[in-house]
Structure 1
């Protein structure tokens, strides 16, 4: 196994997490300060999801033309330029366009980077190696809001830090080899319906975690503010959720190498359902802090186990294509989650965020018990 390449690719993708962890809450807090309502902030949070869908359809063709490594570097640099322009052009319509471009560029990096990581991992260590990547990514997101609380939301320094991180991620990939072989068809995005039909629990889990991640970094700080907490405490809540995601992914990965991965998958769904229901009840008590940890860990476990279950089935073109479907589902989750939650927060309930997560978790639990075999993976990519 190429350990140097594994850690370099992990670090390059993780640089995205830290950059987004700084800039996404900064965008939401800036819009809140400008007087925009929850729905407008939710639209901004959901815009990169459209870019995700575009990026998933283009990744294979672009990788075939430019090469996996070169394309990842190019997209990281494009993301850096877009983040820098957020600081230079403080305009809501322009920010929508820039967030769209960020979604396209960074989605390509995720598809190719996660395929590369899964390709490098040997199966007996797959759970731990994928979880190690997941832990690093979660820690980068944790560090983002904490770093923003130190930098402050009143200046544009957070945007410039995000720009520098993405440039650094591009440099880490210089000279790296061993990426999955890709042709123009592999990540075309075709066959998503068949993928969802054959692997419904994985498809739902990915969409749910995407909605979770988008809402934690954009709407959770706003949720905290509107429930009477200070900006510092609201940002800390978002960080604690990511702590749960980060701290417990390695134990989940370790368990995934030693017990039924499907049983563990279901357990994460049940835990997410119960913790989501507990948030409104415990929000203003000390118990909310360990509950936030459990909330983050169970949601992160769903995504980590989805990647593990995909990685044990596919290689090369099929692996890249599966990850393109994962990216499409991610885009759908990022699009629907913030929009629905932003609208529900404004017009239905102040506790819409945890209630929407509970509803999504309930859907996963139902699917996980309806389809205990998680479908026929071999046929999932053939249904074009």
Structure 2
């Protein structure tokens, strides 16, 4: 196994996550300071999710035309240029377009980067090494807002720091080669419905985690505030969920290399059902803290194990195509999760967020326990 390439590619993708962890909240905070209302900020926040859907559609075609490594380097430059323009051109309408472009370019980076990592690793180490990537990426997203709190939001320092990080990612990608080979005509996002029919549990798990992540960063703090917690404590509780996601992925990956991956997958679903149901019940007790950790870890485990299962099955343009499908499903989850939860919170119940997560996790469990649910993952694809 090429350990140097694995470390460099993982570092490059994680650096992109850190840059976006700084830039995305900075844009929202800047708009809030300019006096824009919640709807306008929400529209801006939705643009990257739309970019995810567009980026997933064109990743295979671009990578086939340019080659995977040049394509990743090119979109890293596009991401950096977009952030530069965010700093230099403070206009709401312009920022809408730039956020959309960022969503497209970052999706291409993640699809190709995760495909590259998954193809590099040996199957006996796949669980641990994919989990290390997932954990590092989660930590990078957590560190972005923390760095932003240190450097402040009044000046454009956060934008320029993100540009520097993206430049570092570009330099790192100059040092490696051997990314998955892509056929421009076959490795596109077409066939998403076939992917969902073939692996419905995997598809549902990806959408569920995307919804979880979007809701954790946007609606979970509001849920805790409306349940009577002070703002500082509400943010600590959200951070506990994120830390549970980040820290426990490596143990989950280790277990995935030692025991049945599909059985562990089902266990994560059951834990997510239980922790979601326990949230409103134990919210005002000391037991809420381990529940928050399990809530984050089980949801993150579903995504990590999805990547592991897909990586053991596919190679080259089939792997890129599968990751493009994952990106499309991710974008759909990011859009549908907050929208449905926001509506249900307003018209049905203040506990809609954990309630809908429990329903979603139960749906995964039912899909995962169907006979032959993972038959298509039993043997790896032809190289």
**Pairs within 5 Å for 1:34-53:** 34=35, 36-37=37-38, 41-53=41-53
In the alignment, the residues of structure 2 paired with residue 85 and residue 190 of structure 1 have an alpha-carbon distance, to the nearest angstrom, of 32
1:64 pairs with 2:64:
yes
2:238 equivalent in structure 1:
238
Q: In structure 2, what is the Cα distance between the partners aligned to 1:350 and 1:91?
A: 36
Q: Distance in 1 between matches of 2:84 and 2:71?
A: 20
1:297 counterpart residue number: 297
Q: CA deviation at 1:87?
A: 4.1
Shift of 1:208: 1.0
Alignment of 1:108-119 (within 5 A): 108-119=108-119
CA distance in 2, matches of 1:55, 1:145: 25
Correspondence for 1:277: 277
Partner residue, 1:268:
268
Deviation at 1:78?
1.6
Alignment of 1:282-361 (within 5 A): 282-361=282-361
Distance in 1 separating the partners of 2:336 and 2:78: 25
Contact 1:207–1:333 (CA under 8 A) maintained in structure 2:
yes
Shift of 1:103: 1.1
Aligned-pair CA distance for 1:73: 1.5
Structure 1 position 97, deviation (Å): 2.4
Partner of 1:105: 105
TM-score, with structure 1 as normaliser: 0.90
Q: Matches of 2:224 and 2:155 in 1, distance apart?
A: 22
Alignment of 1:1-384 (within 5 A): 1-30=1-30, 34=35, 36-37=37-38, 41-377=41-377
TM-score when scaled to structure 2? Answer: 0.90
SS in structure 1 at match of 2:369: helix
* Paired residue secondary structure (2:129): helix
Q: Identify if the C-alpha distance between structure 1 residues 318 and 256 changes in structure 2 by more than 3 Å, giving closer, same or farther.
A: same
Give 5+ residue unaligned stretches, structure 1.
none
**TM-aligned CA distance change 1:220 to 1:163, over 3 Å:** farther
Contact 2:18 2:140 in 1 (8 A): yes
The 1:30/1:281 distance shift into structure 2, 3 A limit, reads: farther
What's the offset of the Cα at 1:168?
Answer: 1.7
Larger mean CA deviation between 64-73 and 203-212 belongs to 64-73
Separation in structure 2 between the aligned mates of residue 124 and residue 22 of structure 1, nearest angstrom: 35
Distance of 2:21 and 2:187 partners within structure 1: 27
Q: Which has the higher contact order (CA 8 A, sep 6+)?
A: 1
d(CA) in 2 for partners of 1:286, 1:145: 27
Distance 2:379 2:66 in 1: 29
Give per-residue Cα distances to partners, 1:305-331, cap 9 Å, x unaligned: 001101111111111111111111111
Q: Tell me by how many angstroms 1:45 deviates.
A: 3.2
* CA spacing shift, 1:23–1:229, aligned 2, 3 Å: farther
C-alpha separation in 1, matches of 2:99 and 2:64: 25
Find the aligned partners of 1:125 and 1:379 in 2 and give their Cα distance. 17
> Secondary structure of the residue that 1:295 maps to in structure 2?
helix
Can you give the 5+ residue segments of structure 2 that lack an aligned partner in the other structure? none
* CA distance 1:30–1:130, shift in 2 (3 Å): same
Change (3 A) 1:339 1:147: same
Q: How many residues align?
A: 381
Secondary structure of the corresponding residue to residue 197 of structure 2: helix
For the residues of structure 1 that align with 2:155 and 2:224, how far apart are their CA atoms?
22
* Counterparts of 1:49 and 1:176, CA distance in 2: 29
Query: After superposition, what is the alpha-carbon deviation per residue over 1:87-127, rounded to whole angstroms, capped at 9, x for unaligned?
Result: 44455444332221111001101111111001111111111
Moved more, 95-104 or 339-348: 339-348
Aligned to 1:312, what secondary structure does the other structure show?
A: helix
> What's the RMSD between the two structures over aligned residues?
2.6
